[in-house]
Amino acid sequence: MPSVLFSAKNISKRFAVPVLESVDFEVLHGEIHGLIGANGAGKSTLCKIIAGLIHPDSGEMQICGDEYQPKTLKDAMQSGIQIVHQELSLVSTLTVSENIFLGELPTRIGVIQDQELQERTSNVFEKIGLTDINPSAKVATLGAGEQQLVQIAIALARDSKLLILDEPTTSLNAVECDRLFRWLRVLKNRGIGIVFISHRLKELTDLADRITVLRDGVKITTAENFSINHDRLLGWITGEKTKERESSSFKSYCTTTPALQIKHLADGRRLTDVSLTLHRGERLGIAGLVGSGRTELLHAIFGETADCSGTQQLFSDDYRRIFSKTHVAAKSGIGLLPEDRKSAGLMVELDVKTNLTVSSLWKRFTRFGVIQINDEIMTAETLRTNLKINSSAVSQSVETLSGGNQQKVAIGKWLITDAEILLLDEPTRGIDAAARRSIYDLMQQFVSDGKSIIMVSSDLHEMMEICDRIAVLAGGRITETFDRTNWNREAIVKSCFHTHQNEGSA
């Protein structure tokens, strides 16, 4: 039995309300310890206390048997504790190398020694197997997934006893997740302890040795991985009994009638020749490496890319040019849920009602230039109830809602417009497992009415659970399409990765 590397006892923290209440937590040498709970359960607060970013109100901690009371992040790092936050914290104007060695740059007479810096970075990348990112590239030129890998590499490159990863895979695709997990298993074999926070149940059960569940600031349990199934884990997270869901529970509403046909779409940048067909009642997943153009494809379909070429046929209309205006796409029955819901999908400082009705305000709630406020409130309240948005009222500010409820609001505004096609970019990123199930149910209800969804997700397991087909986007085009009769995770990952390798060779 491995010895205890880190322990925390009776950790409590209160802000306006209690956030952690007498939590015990320990990590063994060479252990990957999963940490899970709904948004607001106290996971990030506990990890920030361990990393010296927040001071507990009470409790005690030890590392390697010695008393541990970090006053700052620097104290924690000197004790061998590294933390990688979910939010990116790189300096976008600096290069990858400069970010990795920020604070310890090799200089002579105040001048940075570029060659030495590049050699150091190359040695680090070679050691951890990160060879496809240019050390001299400016961070601002990298995609979100590549930036996340750099941020993780910074922590992996330093000597650590305990590594804390807060939702590290939210911006990574399947290939990059596999690479990260290989890194973590190497570190585990070196005796390093790892705390791995994730909302993705399969990630935790595939990777972790033990899993601790927090709910409302209280530790519910710590269990050995082999004794846990997903439904038991979900029950601990929510406090509710859950019935085991079988893979056969998937129900398809896909028809043979096209809802949208795209031919030879190109944006002059990442999309060179995309052709695809979306059917009525279908949930179509788009897989691909970060930088393959998945997000760009959704934005092009929604008319946010003015200089696109190609044609489209919407329902039974004639073929015409790709939309170049978002209001034309919206009027035609297309809605877009962007990847960054807070900055692009919602007005978080405003209330639930306004966010739900804003896209249909003039069309549905205005008569003779006057907004019908009562009708607007009644419609928003009905939708809030139907979508199970957990808020006190439609007058509650969106910024006070959990991530899952914010996502429901962002989707709900398109339901009021009677959209026929939803374009969903990472619809479950950053939300807890229970809220994720709610979004899945909402998507199923949407397609059961004969409507259609195109979904981008970095979580391949998620797409395989809820999609009718998965199309692989690589080299600026759809290279292969899988359906439920012929897909498996390995084949889809290989399709993404092999095409990428072939492009590099060419």
* Confidence check: pLDDT of 506 > 70: no
Looking at the chain, the whole-number percentage of residues with pLDDT higher than 90 is 35
Residue 88 has a pLDDT of 67
The 10 Å CB-count burial string (b at 16+, else e) for 214-246 is bbbbebbeebebeebeeebbbbbbbeeebeeee
CA 274 from centre of chain: 25
How far apart are alpha carbons 362 and 369 in whole angstroms?
8
In this structure, which long-range contacts are made by residues 395-398, counting pairs with CB atoms below 8 Å and at least 24 apart in sequence? 395/351, 395/352, 395/353, 396/351, 396/352, 397/348, 397/349, 397/350, 397/351, 397/352, 398/346, 398/347, 398/348, 398/349, 398/350, 398/351, 398/352, 398/355
Residue 413 has a pLDDT of 84
In terms of pLDDT, which residue wins out, 339 or 341? 339
Minimum mean pLDDT among 70-74, 182-186, 237-241, 451-455: which range? 237-241
Residue 502 has a pLDDT of 44
Residue 436 has a pLDDT of 80
pLDDT averaged over the chain? 85
Domain annotation for the chain: domains and CATH numbers:
4-242 (3.40.50.300), 281-304+325-505 (3.40.50.300)
192-198 average pLDDT score: 93
Comparing CA positions, the residue from 462, 479, 450 lying closest to residue 289 is 479
Residue 480 has a pLDDT of 92
Residue 496 has a pLDDT of 78
pLDDT digits (tens, 9 = 90+) for 40-77: 788 989 999 999 999 999 999 999 999 999 999 889 98
Distances (CA, A) of 436 to 208, 396, 423: 21, 22, 17
* Confidence check: pLDDT of 2 > 70: yes
Residue 498 has a pLDDT of 54
Segment (H or E) for 7: strand 4-14
- Cβ count near 15 (within 10 Å): 9
Token pair recorded at residue 487: 């897909």
How far apart are alpha carbons 323 and 311 in whole angstroms?
9
Predicted TM-score (pTM) of this structure:
0.65
